[in-house]
């Protein structure tokens, strides 16, 4: 990238852009609903994330225009002598701007930030359908050492 | 199990038992150090987990004896309309008491608890070497839908 990428903490005003980025995607398009306005649940989620010191939701910008988003969750576990780890979720780059190094810049920023916060690991899960994403994470040094299991819970 | 399993929140007094359970394991034995007493870092991690409302570290007991432990982390993300999810980590059952339904009881408790907390998903990652664990999670209805990536961070 010739242009400078700025990473900054997301604000409430960014919620529509975040939803747009999440929805603009092979899997996201099936599960995010924003055609009739941004659902209140996204704003509620933003507020929950925003007031939690262990959560960091950020925007990537180029010349004031949103180009990506990701979220880091810091979790302390008992294993590995009580190690803190960083979970990265919701890594999305604008669909028109892929393969230009923006995702790599964002991930390298996230890894640096996780080191600053004293984390011993960075981890993330990626849907098995996202083969391109897997090659991308492997190029960044991540190892696909784990199976990622999910169970959907029905509303009661 | 004929005997009743009790699940309760872990206290500081449980730290040595938690470390014993983590270490008493194919992978854990290589990475947990407690032969010269329990390292302070485990107590520090316990305090961090204990004061965070989004973390729940529990003990499973039978007749007052520790038989297992697990940790639930509640994380709100923007995706799936701002869904909250439960991450389960550090699921360990006493090595002498495996295949008796204790792990299943603990996991079912964790799923019920995650529903009560309003989670839309329960997720976990499991090292690819743990084939038995994978069959166990699949029997409980979990789908191995994701690749779990990890990056170790060196101390600076």
Other beta carbons within 10 angstroms of residue B14's beta carbon come to 20
B149, closest residue in chain A (CA to CA): A144
Q: What is the pTM of this model?
A: 0.93
Contacts of B142 in chain A (CB under 8 A): 149-151
Where do we find the tokens 């991690």? B45
> Residue A31: is its pLDDT beyond 60?
yes
B72–chain A Cβ distance below 8 A for any pair: no
The whole-number pLDDT of residue A3 equals 79
Contacts of A139 in chain B (CB under 8 A): none
A150 with B122: CB under 8 angstroms? Answer: yes
| Strand-by-strand arrangement of the B5-9 sheet | A5-9, A55-62, A65-76, A84-93, A121-127, B143-152, A143-152, B121-127, B84-93, B65-76, B55-62, B5-9
A49, closest residue in chain B (CA to CA): B76
Nearest CA to B60 out of B12, B3, B106, B11 is that of B106
Q: Which of A83, A128, A151 sits opposite B122 (nearest CB)?
A: A151
> Residue B48: is its pLDDT beyond 70?
yes
The whole-number pLDDT of residue A154 equals 79
With a threshold of 0.90, tell me whether the complex ipTM lies above it: yes
Q: Given pLDDT bands bounded at 50, 70 and 90, which one contains residue B155? A: low
Put simply, the answer to whether B81 touches A115 (Cβ < 8 Å) is no
Nearest CA to B45 out of A54, A53, A82, A85 is that of A82
Average pLDDT, chain A: 92
Q: Given pLDDT bands bounded at 50, 70 and 90, which one contains residue B35? A: low
Q: Given pLDDT bands bounded at 50, 70 and 90, which one contains residue B117? A: very high
The whole-number pLDDT of residue A33 equals 62
For residue B111, the distance in angstroms to the closest alpha carbon of chain A comes to 8
């Amino acid at each position: 990238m010739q242009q400078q990428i700025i990473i900054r903490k997301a604000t409430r005003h960014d919620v529509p852009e975040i939803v747009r980025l999440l929805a603009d995607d092979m899997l996201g398009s099936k599960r995010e609903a924003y055609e009739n306005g941004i659902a209140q649940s996204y704003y509620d989620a933003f507020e929950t994330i925003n007031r939690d010191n262990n959560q960091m939701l950020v925007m990537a910008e180029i010349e004031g225009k949103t180009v990506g988003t990701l979220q880091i969750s810091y979790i302390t576990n008992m294993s590995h002598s009580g190690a803190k780890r960083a979970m990265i979720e919701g890594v999305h780059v604008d669909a028109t701007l892929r393969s230009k190094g923006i995702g790599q810049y964002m991930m390298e920023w996230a890894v640096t930030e996780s080191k600053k916060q004293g984390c011993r690991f960075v981890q993330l899960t990626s849907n098995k359908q996202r083969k391109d994403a897997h090659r991308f994470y492997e190029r960044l040094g991540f190892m696909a050492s784990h199976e990622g299991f999910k169970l959907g819970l029905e509303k009661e």
